[in-house]
Amino acid sequence: MCLAVPALVKSISGVTGEVEVGGVVRSTSLLLTPDVKVGDYVLLHTGYAISVIDKEEALKTLELMNQLADIES
């Protein structure tokens, strides 16, 4: 099973962007999401933004992931 995580696009330079997930900022390829803009949420998978998703869906998914993490701890 593969997991893609919602990430907030913080900056863009060409086909590379800085995205933030849970307070961690990392560089990622935006090659597969050419229409992405700063402030958009993307699904991040193995260093690639694979699609742009709406903010409500992203925040809902992140909240569910946080709830799962709380259950595990």
Provide the CATH number for the domain around residue 20.
2.30.30.140
Between β-strands 24-29 and 41-45, what pairing exists: parallel, antiparallel or unpaired? unpaired
Q: What is residue 36's predicted lDDT score, i.e. its pLDDT?
A: 98
9: domain range? 5-72
Q: Are 17 and 49 in contact, with CB atoms under 8 Å apart? A: yes
Structure tokens, 4: 């893609």
**What type of residue is 39?**
G
Q: Residue-wise pLDDT tens for the chain (73 aa)? A: 678 999 999 999 999 999 999 899 999 999 999 999 999 999 999 999 999 999 999 999 999 988 988 886 6
Number of Cβ atoms within 10 Å of the Cβ of 60: 12
Structural domains counted in the chain: 1
Structure tokens, 36: 């992405």
How many residues comprise the chain? Answer: 73
